[in-house]
Structure 1
């Protein structure tokens, strides 16, 4: 997770390490570099992937393939778990400072209330300035809170006005994002959902981070009656195959789309196929994720 040259506009090799012996390398230019109160933020430009957001040395999104991640995080839970009869849905986005998840949520006119909670305002500002794929923060449906999401979902007044869906678009369980993987956060998020509500997030790249998937599923199973893992392939994440998880409060499945919608990546066939997982995910990671994690 380093570049040979941190001089703005210098062409350099930047690396992200998945394991000590596997590294993703991108040759690109550094456009912006600053340390926020929470993390090191860098914006690069790659000739193929376009603008690239890096936080604390970890690649977050690129302009070229961000739509895959954001569409799968958003539309699988919203279209698979929320009933077709629901006319006015409310959605809580936790994290998501690049704005891509907000953009996808706002595509659905039946979503009438969107609350986004991001701890680092600099991420929002720089992504608007450099990346440009964010949703409309001025949409009257949107309320933005710059605060700690773990504390936000613990507030009684927030739990008193529950959401239909919670989408956690966070970094990996390190740094500012670590608290968003704790049992306490999961219990509070559950309390912020309506009885038929849905919770979704990415978990990890199972090829390199299998224990994170196993522990993440185990912790969710302690709280939610139904926890379903699905996947998408995103080249610029080391390992390519990303595991997502969708959980429902009343136990119903999200595997079948309840509404028809097509994006650049997402469509009803992709939705259903995303729940077809490799055998080793089932046998080594998911089946063994018994709900005994403290």
Structure 2
């Protein structure tokens, strides 16, 4: 099953489970996959930025890909293949597709600054992995420091038939979504799927601007699924009420430096993974931070029973 521009719904960005000693937690890879599928995910995305991908050896990345793809069954799996060099990118991309992945995701390296540098980089990336592999363009300037205008994104999409999805993570970025959908409407850009990341921080309005769903790792993917479904049905107030209930925890999870630690802590509490450990170098929550998360969960539980776990 190959990824295409019709992809929609929620593709959670999966964490990578580790044991306290830093080794891969193979058992939790299965429980994590089951958790996301049980939440109603329409797809899965592994080895992203919040999946600690740079800390993995190539053999580990391929082993995780194989395990998740097999466990997910008919649910499409997107694999992050961003790498400093194209040789490693090609090896992981081709290997992931051979294992049954639906597509790959590529982020620009931080050194890119001009429009020509950006378009040239992605042309070289496609040449390296092969134009037969469907791929997701990750636009995350807040972390990657690479600014891609709507026109640059349109150029990349038009130059490469294999680019079928945008992972939109710009902030502010609502106007960018509207502009891209406008390009589609006037015929100057092909139809693409737009899934939004950034922790889901603006998902309530992104869906209204034309996003097809979410590709992010907030620890309540079941809420994201419900929100996207409500938006599709046009039940606006209920969608925003649900989002507002989760916003304090969502905001807390978005903190630079400890965001992944918060996410893994909540996922552990929800039974998705056995340990909230990160592979070094990695952070952890202080007792004070854990108490704050617990307080946020207790408040959320008054409005959403899923937080009681």
If the length of structure 2 is used for normalisation, what is the TM-score? 0.32
Higher relative contact order (CA 8 A, sep 6+): 2
TM-score (norm 1): 0.33
Which has more helix, going by share of residues?
Answer: 2
Q: From the two aligned structures, give the one with the greater strand fraction.
A: 1
